[in-house]
Copies of this chain bind each other. A is one copy, B any other.
Amino acid sequence: MKDWNEECAVFGIWGDPEAGKMTYLGLYAQQHRGQESAGISTLMESGKQIHHKGTGLVGEVFSADVLDTLVGKAAIGHVRYSTTGGNSLHNIQPLTAGLLNGPVAMAHNGNIVNSKPLRKELKRLGAIFQGTNDTECLLHLLARHPSNNLITCLKESVLRLDGAYSLVLLAKDMMVAMRDPRGMRPLVLGQRSLETGGFAWVVASETCAFDLIGAKYIREIEPGEIWWVDDQGEHSERFQAPTSPLAQCVFEYVYFSRPDSKVFGRSVYETRKRMGEILAEEDPIQADLVIPVPDSGTPAAIGYSQKSGVPFELGIIRNHYIGRTFIQPSQSIRSFGVKIKLNPQAEILKGKRVVVVDDSLVRGTTSQKIIRLVRQAGAKEVHFRIASPPTTGPCYYGVDTPEREELIANQKSLEGIRQFIDADTLSYLSIEGMMRAVGASKVGFCAACFDGQYPTPV
């Protein structure tokens, strides 16, 4: 239903006797970042790797039997939303290769903006590409690097890449985590205490993966850092100085990350509530109720309610049973696509002045349907509040976004949008308000989809 989708999450663990199973759980906890495919690679004592990938949810791709085969002390994994190259099995990560110095598996969150010319150059040199995944370029750069030292190969190869990359790599004797110098996508480091004493090292896109497996958050992998762990312990180097200012993705706070994660060092839930609070301050309105568009609008609606004093209610109930196999059988039901998930409650809304809070507004068609349903349920006034600024540009850094011309804020004025979605009033959070919410003291966010300031040439 959402028009703006994160493409991936990564996970890695080193030194855990249940490494494969922990990766399964780490991916499950990050399922919201990608539902189309999943994969896990594990490392056995012998240096051999075992892989399993497939299309579907984590719980569908990995049966108990499969999971039992994913033995080893270390593992990495990946979930994926969708691909530039379609659903080909070749594009499901971790990507793997048998290099001269042993097997390598790699999981990547982000997008390489110069992959097209790089790909052409590598093909001219005889590289055979299996899929259409930009991650594959880095594998070929590694394969062709003359050094026998994997860390050297990696440090030098990534200098050829421009764009967003938070990546985890499993080799025959180490696990590596790297983050691009702009820090565009999140990547966090943690430790999981073992029953037998000692601990395993863990990396993930979001801290919610740590919570599920009982791991402790240590710190972020820094922009421009290469961190690795082997039998001697952990190591860290800079392969490049971090960009100043950084370009951390502000949309992680707006929508992508789970509310119970800590991203770029801040609680997502608290940040979203703060966005709702500032939204209430920036454009106050007289109303009887504040209701969220569930589930993504809920924290901001709670913040809005607390700041404004307007009571918070679950005016729209969400049905979570939908699943992947549900079909939309009827042509004769209006606003069906929205109704199948969301049901406004007439008993709550009848005759009320309602503030409806959503996290963002992209094409406008879904908002239009929601407002229609809220009105049919009897609301007297509908005041639509967006807990982020108008989205005016697509993202090129690992997010699946509509074309520029499909973004309603590019086509219509505020009043035009209000008329289109048929709200009584409409307002967005200001860019300044959003920046205040994500931490006034901290600079360094990419808000290109809101302000057009792309951190790379596009």
Distance between A289 CB and nearest chain B CB, rounded to angstroms: 11
CB-CB under 8 A from A97, the residues of chain B are 128-130
A151 within 8 Å of B by Cβ? no
| Other-chain residue from B262, B314, B343 in contact with A302 (beta carbon distance below 8 A) | B314
CB-CB under 8 A from A22, the residues of chain B are 330
**From A194, which residue of chain B is reached at the shortest CB distance?**
B332
A284 within 8 Å of B by Cβ? no
CB-CB under 8 A from A35, the residues of chain B are 321
| Other-chain residue from B129, B323, B324 in contact with A98 (beta carbon distance below 8 A) | B129
**From A305, which residue of chain B is reached at the shortest CB distance?**
B312
Q: Which of A57-65, A380-388, A446-454 contacts B (4 or more CB under 8 A)?
A: A57-65
CB-CB under 8 A from A24, the residues of chain B are 329
Contact between A63 and B259, CB atoms less than 8 A apart: no
A89 within 8 Å of B by Cβ? yes
CB-CB under 8 A from A140, the residues of chain B are 126, 128
* A441-B329 Cα distance, complex, nearest whole Å: 43
* A348-B302 Cα distance, complex, nearest whole Å: 13
A313 within 8 Å of B by Cβ? yes
Considering only residues 78-109 of chain A, those with a C-beta below 8 Å from chain B are: 89, 97-100
Contact between A343 and B59, CB atoms less than 8 A apart: no
Q: A302-B312, A311-B306 are in contact. Are A98 and B126 (CB under 8 A)?
A: no
* A120-B212 Cα distance, complex, nearest whole Å: 43
Q: A314-B269, A321-B28, A321-B31 are in contact. Are A123 and B98 (CB under 8 A)?
A: yes
**From A120, which residue of chain B is reached at the shortest CB distance?**
B100
| Other-chain residue from B123, B194, B208 in contact with A343 (beta carbon distance below 8 A) | B208
| Other-chain residue from B89, B312, B325 in contact with A60 (beta carbon distance below 8 A) | B325
Q: Which of A161-169, A224-232, A333-341, A401-409 contacts B (4 or more CB under 8 A)?
A: A333-341
CB-CB under 8 A from A323, the residues of chain B are 57, 59-60, 323
**Can you tell how many copies of this chain the complex includes?**
4
Contact between B25 and A325, CB atoms less than 8 A apart: no
* A313-B312 Cα distance, complex, nearest whole Å: 11
Contact between A260 and B343, CB atoms less than 8 A apart: yes
Contact between A345 and B260, CB atoms less than 8 A apart: yes
**From A130, which residue of chain B is reached at the shortest CB distance?**
B130
CB-CB under 8 A from A339, the residues of chain B are 211-212
A392 within 8 Å of B by Cβ? no
Contact between B126 and A327, CB atoms less than 8 A apart: no
Contact between B269 and A347, CB atoms less than 8 A apart: yes
Mark contacts of A377-397 with chain B using CB atoms, 8 A cut-off: 1 yes-contact digit, 0 otherwise.
000000000000000000000
**From A348, which residue of chain B is reached at the shortest CB distance?**
B269
A18 within 8 Å of B by Cβ? yes
A298 within 8 Å of B by Cβ? yes
Contact between B329 and A59, CB atoms less than 8 A apart: no
A363 within 8 Å of B by Cβ? no
Contact between B298 and A314, CB atoms less than 8 A apart: yes
A150 within 8 Å of B by Cβ? no
Mark contacts of A277-314 with chain B using CB atoms, 8 A cut-off: 1 yes-contact digit, 0 otherwise.
00000000000000000010011001000100001111
| Other-chain residue from B21, B99, B125, B145 in contact with A329 (beta carbon distance below 8 A) | B21
CB-CB under 8 A from A347, the residues of chain B are 262, 267, 269-270
CB-CB under 8 A from A144, the residues of chain B are 125-126
Can you list 25 A-B contacts (CB < 8 A)? A18-B332, A21-B330, A28-B322, A28-B340, A59-B321, A59-B323, A67-B327, A67-B329, A89-B89, A97-B130, A98-B129, A99-B123, A100-B124, A123-B143, A126-B143, A128-B128, A128-B140, A128-B143, A213-B330, A214-B334, A260-B343, A267-B348, A269-B317, A269-B345, A299-B314
